[in-house]
């Protein structure tokens, strides 16, 4: 029911929205919860396990009950707190976790079965027969469990991430936060003020208070106006600081567009990484419920929430309100209600010494022991001494005192301290370096205390920053906080602790009875505190009940750990930017467009895109194109972009010496103008990478790496240099992206290359020379990854595309053309060249037959570890070639023909296969136990997954031109 003259909503701006198919009206400034309550909608959800009717409990992000699905034009969002969702024109929401309608939820049958669904019941049953678990029990449990629903459709919403930096981060804009922000702001420090709600002011918006002699609302408005005017202060409303991380980093979620109708490019949320030199935690406190029988009915709410709905939204959630509270502070709720003309039927105060002077009936030393009303509260039972009083009421405001909102202080494993005085946990100082808790978050419960501590913390931060400021702290109420801890009212029925997960005091006691006495055991056994509110409403009461059941104090019982995020954060927000291609950088060759122009399918090679093959009219499969390209290279000339290979320019007097150290073989003896194949080991003796290095000058080398290992090798070289030989005269830099490099291979390669050169050169095999191409300085290498006479021509990247197009065009006039990754792979398999399919990280130089490349004359990285007994010898699998006439597959395993196929008879496996148009057979590379001694043997190749079982001949891995005559032609 709406109360005239109250609230901060804009009554000139009515907003229409829909809940469970019915249209309602609210005002701008309303939350879905306040607007529903204004429309007298009390039933908004069903509980997790028993499907009990549930209404709004709180007015904040800690809401455990009022979780709804918000339905947008293209998708829906589950588990939205109605207490945080602002209403907007056209908002559509619906209740969740029900079978049937919200009023008649068929799963409410669970409530009647509750004696059999006590804590941990599922661990004790559903075990027989075994097959029924996946088949019957589990599917039923899974369907009944869960809360809201995802649509199953891609989330096409827009999300963003951003970084921010500041001197002082103020978390929360209640009295403590505003005072801190004002103090830090006036000093000139860079300040970020984050407020979870859409309006600044915190509880000053909810409580009728006076600050500095003026109504609190006015003071808030003044301070906010000043902060807004300060260029060094950034106010972030609708922003929840969700986590405290190392070295002053905080995560924060800004709800950018969730309070507006969706429109293109309006981000829904933005996830911030805020780096702050100092942080002031002014997150306030959370009021805690009291456990009594049937304390979960719609209409039973937190007293502070009733106050917020009254003062901030002009809404009263009932006609006859009762108050059950154990602090003096909560009395204000009743007084403000009465002042607004609402009937307060009774105040029930468990403190025997509490005042009974109010303008309504007051029962001191009394407790609420029960409630009635199927879908909403209609009355309560109050025990006063031996008497039970029945009171008609449709809204019970309850308060069991306050828990400081200390969560962020625990995110770095800091344990909170139990305060007997407050009957609450308070932050341990210094638990998060650089963060200071102030105000109610630190147990200063009065407004005065909040202002003073907020000011003091900001002042300290400002001084540490070397700044000065003088700000007067305004006067405010300083009422003592005096409560009698009341966690649970004695009784025999079910009294709820965790509303969201349906955990009652009985469950906690049962856990203790069954030996789950540690607070963590209790939590995990009962699921207490594991629901969407993460126990914000219930953890402390639950461990008080546990402490009681186990005969220990609360401090000794301890508390479970608060972990990030403070409030749940959507995966889309923290994963913003990851959607679709955004997940990883894309690297494109200079020839990319030229390849696409020719219809080449581009495939991912690490971060690169490379052409798979270049289809021609009439070719129906990739194999058609691949076979043609292989033949083209073997018979005429092919052109391939190989710029993805890592290129590292190495210079200095000790460059050769350095290469000798990182390669197994020797490079210091390489003549200028020559290229050598090199093998690089990891320090653990296994093969890291291979490639060629060219000596361009006396003190100048150019190393190439495989595409996959380019970054790895660079990092490795930097380490070896800086860690072991920092004093050597050598420097290097990655030039991978500076050069475009094209392989030109085939019998006509020389002719094609020479057609480009201003001065043709005669290069020997493994030679390198500077060349001029169309007025551009380039390099020519005579190296081959195909087994044909091969060259690699490299030019600065900006000329890459032009050169590629020209190379291909001229090649085509010679019966050649471009070739892609598929053909490149076939060519290298025919020649027995390895890639990372073979050097997969478990392979030694010995395994690939290159042990002789490990120079005996010098030390090198990995040399010592490679001599370990397990790293060589006939029991290891060695590289072999495989040849057959039936299709074979990589990933198949090898067995001796006519033996059983199982792990113990396994002889090896296949790493690469191809149909070889050159050899006219299926070829493979693989690893076979003692393989080099077994050339000529028959071996059985079994691929269960693809249904292949083929006999192959084991052979030398070089199938094509074993003598290398073509290479040297």
Q: Which of residues 132-161 bind another protein (CB under 8 A)?
A: 133-134, 138, 141-143, 145-157, 159, 161
- Tokens 């400021």 belong to 469
Q: Is 686 in the site for another protein (CB under 8 A)?
A: yes
Bridge partners (DSSP) listed for residue 408: none
893 is an interface residue for another protein by CB under 8 A:
yes
CA distance 294 to 929: 72
**In this chain, which of 890, 896, 919, 958 binds another protein, going by CB under 8 A?**
890
Q: Which CA distances in Å does 943 have to 480, 829, 893?
A: 78, 20, 6
Do 599 and 812 contact (CB within 8 A), yes or no?
no
Residues 30-69 that bind another protein (CB under 8 A): 48
Is 591 in a helix, a strand, or coil? coil
The answer to whether residue 889 forms part of the interface with another protein (CB under 8 A) is yes
Which residues 581-610 are close enough to bind another protein by CB under 8 A? Answer: 581-584, 586, 603-605
Q: If DSSP codes are grouped into helix, strand and coil, which group holds residue 332?
A: helix
Q: Measure CA of the first residue to CA of the last residue in the chain; give whole Å.
A: 95
* Binding characters for another protein, 90-109, by CB under 8 A (x = yes): -------x------------
Question: By CB under 8 A, how many residues form the interface with another protein?
Answer: 143
Per CB under 8 A, which of residues 275..314 are in contact with another protein? 275
* Cβ at position 925, least distance to another protein in Å: 11
Which range in 35-43, 101-109, 528-536, 624-632 contacts another protein by CB under 8 A?
528-536
- What's the closest the beta carbon of residue 526 comes to another protein, in angstroms? 11
Site residues for another protein, 722-781, by CB under 8 A, read: 722-724, 726
Strand partners, 638: 745, 817
Q: What is the distance between the alpha carbons of residues 850 and 953, in angstroms, rounded to a whole number?
A: 22
Report the nearest approach of another protein to the CB of residue 793 (Å).
27
Contact between 532 and another protein per CB under 8 A? yes
With binding defined as CB under 8 A, does residue 841 bind another protein?
A: yes
Task: Give yes or no for residue 115 binding another protein (CB under 8 A).
Answer: yes
Site for another protein in 235-254 (CB under 8 A): 243, 245-249, 251
Q: Which is nearer to another protein, 160 or 358 (CB)?
A: 160
Read off φ and ψ for residue 787, nearest 5 degrees. 95, -10
CB 627, CB 915: distance < 8 Å: yes
3-state secondary structure (DSSP) of residue 224:
helix
Q: Dihedrals φ, ψ of 905, to 5°?
A: -100, 5
Query: Dihedral through CA 763, CA 765, CA 769, CA 775, nearest 10?
Result: 60
Using CB under 8 A as the binding rule, the residues of this chain from 453 to 482 that contact another protein are: none
- Contact with another protein (CB under 8 A) among 273, 467, 657, 700: 273
DSSP structure class, residue 237: T
Q: Tokens 């030694």 sit at which residue?
A: 844
- Taking the complex as a whole, the smallest distance from the CB of residue 91 to another protein amounts, in Å, to 16
Query: Does residue 534 bind another protein (CB under 8 A)?
Result: yes
Instruction: Name the β-bridge partners of 145.
Output: none
**CA dist., res. 176 & res. 457, Å (int):** 10
Binding to another protein in span 541-580, by CB under 8 A:
561, 563-565, 568-572, 574-580
Tell me the per-residue interface mask from 843 to 862 with another protein, x by CB under 8 A, - otherwise: ----------------x---
Binding segment for another protein (CB under 8 A), chosen from 8-16, 295-303, 374-382, 900-908, is: 900-908
Task: In whole angstroms, give the CA distance from residue 710 to residue 713.
Answer: 5
Q: Could you tell me which stretch among 83-91, 226-234, 434-442, 676-684 binds another protein (CB under 8 A)?
A: 676-684
Which residue lies nearer to another protein by CB, 606 or 964? Answer: 606
Per-residue x/- marks for another protein, 612-631, CB under 8 A? --------------------
Buried b (16+ CB within 10 A) or exposed e, 915-953: bbbbeebbbbbbbbbebbebeebebbbbbeeeebebebb
Structure tokens at 723: 């860690």
DSSP single-letter state for residue 600: P
- Contact between 415 and another protein by CB under 8 A: the answer reads no
Site for another protein in 348-407 (CB under 8 A): none
Footprint of another protein on residues 780-839 (CB under 8 A)?
Answer: 836-837
Q: Is 909 in the site for another protein (CB under 8 A)?
A: yes
Chain positions 167 to 226 lying near another protein, rule: CB under 8 A, are none
Residue selected from 513, 593, 621, 899 as contacting another protein according to rule CB under 8 A: 513
The Cα 118–Cα 180 span in angstroms is 47
Q: Which two tokens stand for residue 350?
A: 């468990």
CA dihedral angle for residue 772, residue 777, residue 781, residue 784, rounded to 10 degrees: -90
Q: Does 663 bind another protein (CB under 8 A)?
A: no
Q: Cα-flanking dihedrals φ and ψ of residue 634, to 5°?
A: -70, -30
Residue 223 or 714 having the CB closest to another protein: 714
CB of 167 to another protein, least distance (A): 14
Instruction: By CB under 8 A, name the one of 806, 906, 930, 961 that touches another protein.
Output: 906
Is 521 a binding residue for another protein by CB under 8 A? The answer is yes
Phi, psi dihedrals of residue 922, rounded to the nearest 5°: -80, 130
Is position 870 an interface residue for another protein (rule: CB under 8 A)? yes
Task: Calculate the alpha carbon distances from 964 to 439, 784, 968 in Å.
Answer: 81, 11, 7
Binding of residue 868 to another protein (CB under 8 A): yes
Q: Which is nearer to another protein, 484 or 517 (CB)?
A: 517
Measured from the CB atom, the residue of 206 and 501 that comes closer to another protein is: 501
- Are 509 and 491 in contact by the 8 Å Cβ rule? The answer is no
């Amino acid at each position: 029911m709406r109360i005239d003259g109250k609230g901060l909503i804009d009554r000139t701006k009515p907003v229409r929205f829909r809940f469970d198919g019915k249209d309602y009206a609210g005002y701008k400034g309303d939350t879905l919860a306040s607007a529903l309550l204004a429309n007298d909608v009390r039933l908004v959800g069903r509980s997790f396990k028993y499907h009990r009717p549930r209404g709004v409990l709180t007015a904040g992000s800690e809401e455990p009950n009022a979780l709804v699905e918000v339905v947008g034009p293209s998708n829906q969002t589950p588990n939205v707190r109605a207490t945080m969702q602002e209403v907007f024109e056209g908002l559509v929401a619906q209740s969740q976790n029900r079978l049937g309608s919200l009023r008649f939820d068929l799963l409410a049958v669970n409530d009647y079965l509750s004696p059999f669904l006590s804590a941990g019941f599922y661990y004790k049953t559903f075990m027989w027969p075994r097959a029924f678990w996946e088949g019957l029990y589990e599917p039923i449990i899974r369907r009944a469990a869960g809360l809201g629903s995802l649509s199953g459709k891609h989330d096409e919403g827009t999300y963003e991430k951003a970084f921010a930096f500041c001197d002082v981060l103020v978390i929360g804009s209640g009295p403590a936060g505003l005072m801190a922000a004002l103090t830090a702001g006036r000093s000139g420090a860079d300040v970020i003020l984050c407020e979870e709600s859409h309006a600044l002011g915190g509880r000053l918006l909810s409580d009728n208070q006076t600050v500095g002699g003026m109504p609190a609302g006015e003071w808030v408005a003044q301070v906010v106006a000043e902060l807004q005017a300060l260029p060094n202060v950034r106010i972030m409303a609708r922003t929840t600081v969700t986590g405290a991380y190392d070295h002053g980093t905080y995560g924060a979620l800004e709800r950018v567009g969730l309070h507006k109708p969706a429109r293109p490019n309006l981000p829904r949320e933005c996830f911030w990484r805020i780096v702050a030199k100092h942080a002031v935690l002014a997150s306030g406190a959370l009021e805690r419920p009291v456990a009594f029988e049937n304390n979960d009915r719609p209409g039973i709410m937190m007293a502070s929430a009733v106050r917020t709905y009254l003062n901030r939204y002009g809404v009263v959630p009932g006609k006859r309100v009762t108050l059950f509270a154990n602090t003096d502070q909560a009395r204000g709720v009743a007084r403000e209600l009465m002042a607004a003309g609402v009937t307060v039927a009774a105040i029930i105060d468990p403190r025997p010494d509490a005042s009974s002077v109010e303008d309504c009936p007051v029962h001191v030393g009394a407790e609420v022991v029960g409630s009635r009303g199927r879908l909403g509260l209609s009355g309560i039972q109050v025990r006063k001494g031996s008497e039970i009083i029945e009171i008609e009421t449709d809204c019970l405001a309850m308060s069991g005192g306050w828990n400081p909102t200390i969560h962020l202080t625990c995110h770095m494993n800091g344990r909170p301290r139990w305060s007997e005085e407050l009957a609450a946990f308070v932050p341990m100082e210094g638990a998060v370096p650089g963060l200071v808790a102030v105000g109610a978050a630190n147990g200063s419960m009065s407004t005065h205390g909040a202002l003073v501590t907020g000011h003091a913390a900001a002042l300290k931060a400002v001084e540490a920053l070397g700044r000065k400021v003088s700000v007067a702290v305004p006067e405010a109420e300083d009422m003592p906080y005096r409560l009698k801890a009341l966690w649970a009212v004695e009784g025999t029925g079910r009294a709820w602790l965790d509303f969201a997960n349906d955990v009652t005091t009985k469950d906690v006691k049962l856990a203790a009875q069954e030996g789950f006495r540690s607070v963590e055991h209790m939590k995990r056994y009962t699921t207490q505190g594991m629901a969407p509110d993460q126990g914000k409403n219930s953890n402390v009461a639950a461990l008080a009940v546990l402490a009681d059941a186990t005969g220990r104090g609360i401090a000794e019982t301890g508390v479970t750990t608060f972990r990030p995020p403070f409030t749940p954060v959507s995966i889309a927000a923290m994963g913003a930017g990851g959607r679709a291609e955004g997940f990883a950088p894309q690297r494109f060759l200079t020839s990319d467009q030229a390849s696409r122009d020719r219809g080449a399918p581009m495939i991912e090679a690490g971060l690169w895109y490379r052409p798979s093959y270049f289809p021609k009219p009439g070719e129906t499969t990739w194999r058609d194109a691949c076979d043609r390209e292989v033949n083209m290279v073997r018979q005429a000339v092919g052109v391939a972009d190989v710029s993805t290979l890592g290129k590292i320019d190495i210079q200095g007097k000790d460059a050769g010496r350095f290469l000798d150290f990182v390669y197994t073989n020797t490079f210091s003896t390489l003549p200028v103008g020559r290229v050598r194949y090199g093998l690089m080991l990891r320090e653990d003796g296994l093969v890291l990478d291979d490639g060629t290095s060219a000596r361009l000058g006396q003190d100048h080398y150019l190393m190439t790496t495989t595409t996959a290992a380019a970054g790895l090798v660079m990092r490795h070289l930097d380490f070896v240099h800086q860690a072991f030989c920092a004093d050597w005269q050598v420097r290097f830099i990655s030039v991978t992206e500076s050069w475009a490099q094209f392989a030109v291979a085939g019998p006509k390669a020389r002719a094609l290359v020479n057609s480009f050169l201003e001065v043709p050169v005669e290069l020997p095999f493994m030679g390198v020379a500077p060349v001029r191409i169309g007025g551009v300085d380039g390099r020519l290498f005579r190296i081959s990854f195909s087994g044909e006479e091969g060259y690699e021509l490299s030019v600065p990247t900006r000329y890459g595309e032009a050169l590629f197009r020209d190379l291909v065009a001229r090649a085509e006039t010679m019966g050649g053309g471009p070739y892609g990754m598929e053909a490149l792979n076939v060519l290298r398999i025919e020649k027995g060249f390895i890639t990372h399919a073979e050097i997969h990280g478990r392979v030694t130089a010995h395994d690939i037959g290159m042990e002789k490349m490990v120079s005996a004359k010098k030390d090198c990285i990995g040399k010592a570890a490679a001599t370990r007994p397990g790293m060589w010898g006939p029991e290891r699998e060695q590289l072999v070639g495989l040849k057959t006439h039936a299709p074979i597959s990589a990933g198949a395993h090898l067995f001796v023909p006519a033996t059983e196929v199982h792990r113990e008879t396994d002889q090896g496996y296949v790493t690469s296969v191809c149909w070889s148009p050159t050899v006219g057979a299926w070829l493979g590379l693989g690893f076979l136990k003692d393989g080099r001694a077994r050339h000529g043997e028959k071996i059985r190749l079994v691929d269960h997954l693809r249904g292949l079982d083929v006999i192959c001949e084991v052979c030398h891995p070089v199938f094509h031109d074993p003598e290398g005559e073509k290479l040297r032609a």
